[in-house]
Chains A and B, each alone.
Chain A
Amino acid sequence: MARRGSRVQVEEEDVELNMTPMLDVVFILLIFFIVTAVFVKEPGVEVVRPDIALLDDEKPTILVAVTDTDEIWINRDPYEITQVRRVLEQLLAENPRAEAMIQGDEGAPIGTVLDVQEMLMELEVPVTISGRNN
């Protein structure tokens, strides 16, 4: 009985793992994902994107949607064109190196899309227009 107990103790000591290297790796992964985490704020509406053949991959961090009913949506809230500049400036203060993308509906008036585009260009933000490829 006593012998058996001592054998179990020896086994336990042998089986114990050194967690430190794994912990190091996990911390490095954690820091990587925290640093690269870009919280993209979705506009909150679905638009029908125009059908475009020549498209580039973009990594926008500011998304502005213009719907066919001429509403401008940023970060799940509709805004008037006069309010958009203030909202964009707030978003830029959070992330000064942002890139913007306008998600214009096929039926959206081009005037609104160009208004938003001009505003973003005045704020010196690179801006692209969203499209879909069939």
Chain B
Amino acid sequence: MRKRRQRGGDQAEVNMTPMLDIVFILLIFFIVTATFLQEEGFDMTPPPPNDEPQNTEPNPVILVQIDAENRVFVNQRSTSEDRVLAAVQRIRAEAPQSAVLIEPNDEALHGTVSTIWDDMRVNGIPVSIQRATAEDS
């Protein structure tokens, strides 16, 4: 019994080493190319349009406009990029329910818009974005 098995095993045994080499190379390739890409980002999409009729008065809107020369206006009053938050908070002190609407010109800088967006979100101020229409600018 033992003798027969041993002989049969010898005959049928396949040399696994080359296949093992290939499998290891494939394994190493996939480990190396598996880029567990770590990107950090934020969501700047405007909220979906609300079709439901609003039964309450719509909240007053603080309009933050950024023009083509990257100047910032809060409710038509000129401010600098850093003072937007202070200006918005001053208005919100009187009307705490008001939300911010950023209205950038197409030529305004992405850095400015996202910094303002981030400032609002850090301070828990509801914020949305809508591109300026031609007649506004």
Q: Is the beta-carbon distance between A111 and B106 smaller than 8 angstroms?
A: yes
Q: 1/0 per position for A47-75, CB-CB distance to B under 8 A? A: 01011111111111001001000000000
Q: How far is the CB of B40 from chain A (nearest CB, A)?
A: 4
Interface residues of A in 77-134 (CB under 8 A from B): 101, 104-114, 117, 121, 127-133
> Interface size on A (CB < 8 Å)?
48
> How many angstroms from the CA of A107 to the CA of B113 in the assembled complex?
10
Q: Please tell me which one of the listed residues B31, B39, B110 contacts residue A58 in the complex, with CB atoms under 8 A apart.
A: B39
Interface residues of B in 33-63 (CB under 8 A from A): 33-35, 37-45
Q: Is the beta-carbon distance between B106 and A30 smaller than 8 angstroms?
A: no
Do A33 and B114 contact each other (CB < 8 Å), given the known contacts A23-B23, A26-B20, A108-B109?
Answer: no
Is B115 located at the chain interface by the 8 A CB criterion? yes
Interface residues of B in 86-134 (CB under 8 A from A): 104-115, 118, 121-122, 129, 131
Instruction: Give the dominant DSSP class at A's interface.
Output: mixed
> How many angstroms from the CA of A128 to the CA of B112 in the assembled complex?
17
Q: 1/0 per position for A19-40, CB-CB distance to B under 8 A? A: 1000100110110011011111
Q: How far is the CB of A134 from chain B (nearest CB, A)?
A: 12
Q: Is the beta-carbon distance between B110 and A33 smaller than 8 angstroms?
A: no
A51 neighbours in B (Cβ, 8 Å): 115
Q: Please tell me which one of the listed residues A29, A63, A113, A131 contacts residue B40 in the complex, with CB atoms under 8 A apart.
A: A131
> How many angstroms from the CA of A129 to the CA of B43 in the assembled complex?
6
Q: Is the beta-carbon distance between B131 and A106 smaller than 8 angstroms?
A: no
Minimal Cβ-Cβ distance residue in A for B109? A107
> How many angstroms from the CA of A131 to the CA of B42 in the assembled complex?
7
19 A-B pairs in the complex with CB atoms less than 8 angstroms apart: A26-B24, A30-B30, A37-B34, A38-B35, A40-B35, A40-B37, A48-B111, A50-B114, A54-B42, A63-B39, A104-B114, A107-B111, A110-B112, A111-B104, A114-B106, A114-B131, A129-B41, A129-B44, A131-B41
